[in-house]
Amino acid sequence: MDNVFDLCDCDICNKNAQRIPLIGDVAPEFVANTTNGKIKFPDDFAGKWVIFFSHPADFTPVCTTEFIAFQNNLNEFEKINTALLGLSVGGLSSHLGWFDAISRMQNGVNITFPLIDDLNKNIANLYGMIQSGVSDTHAVRAVFIIDPNGIIRTVLYYPASLGRNMSEIWRILVALQTSDAFSVSVPANWTPGDNVLTPAPATASALREHDKKSPWFMNYKKLDKKEIYERICKKNAETK
C-alpha cells in the first residue's frame, strides 16, 4: 500500500513547491527595482549585515508604524554595520505614494532605505514569504537577517496583526556579531554586558578546572559591553 504521506512528484506540484531559505543557506540572488534604484542582491550589500523584511501591502497601518520605527532606528543599525532592505507586494508608484503619506503624518519621517518593487511576487515567492494555499499576500510578513558573506543567520515570521520589535531585531544582530567575534553563545534574554556562554569542557583536565557552582555543561563568561562593541566594530571594519 502506498504511503498516504508521500508527496506528489508531478511537475505541477514540484513547480509550486517553493523551498523556504533556511538558516545557514546562501541568500537567494535577485535583481530588482527599488525606491532607491536598481539593486543586485546580495552583491550590492557585500560586507554588510542586512535586515531584509517584507510587508503584505502598501498603506497598511501596522506596516506604516514599522517603517517609521525602522527609519527612526536606522542610525543605530548602521552603527553595527547593518543595512535595511524592505519588500512590499506593490509597484514603485504605490511605494512612493506610501512614502509621501508617511512623510506627511504627524511624527512622520522620510524613508531613506530601499523598498523593492515586487508586484509580480517573484522575490516574495523566492524567499518563501507567501505561505502556500493563501488567497492574498497578507502572509507576507518575514524578516531575514543576512551576514556580510550573504549567509542567512536568522529567519522570523510575524502575523499581520503584530508589529515587529526593533529592540529585539537589534539584539539579535548584536548577539550574532558577538557570537562571531568571540566564539561564544548567548543565553535567554541576553543583552550586551550580560554573561555569555563558552563551550563545555572537552577534556578531563578542563572539566576539573570548571567552576563547580554551575553544571559542567554550563560555562559562563563575563563580557564587558564596551569590549563587545569595540570587537564587533573592528570585525565589521575588516569585512568592508
Q: Which residues pair with 31 in a beta bridge?
A: 40
Confidence at residue 134, expressed as pLDDT on a 0 to 100 scale:
55
8, 10, 13, 63: the active-site residue:
63
pTM, to two decimals: 0.87
Question: Among this protein's residues, is 63 annotated catalytic?
Answer: yes
DSSP letters spanning 50-79: EEEEEES-TT-HHHHHHHHHHHHTHHHHHH
The reply to whether omega before 42 is within 30° of 0 (cis) is yes
Confidence at residue 209, expressed as pLDDT on a 0 to 100 scale:
77
d(CA 125, CA 142): 12
Confidence at residue 181, expressed as pLDDT on a 0 to 100 scale:
95
Cell readout for 190 is 541576553
Domains for the chain: give ranges and CATH numbers. Answer: 19-164 (3.40.30.10), 178-239 (no CATH)
Contact 176, 184 (CB under 8 A): no
Which residue stretches of the chain have pLDDT < 70?
1-18, 131-140
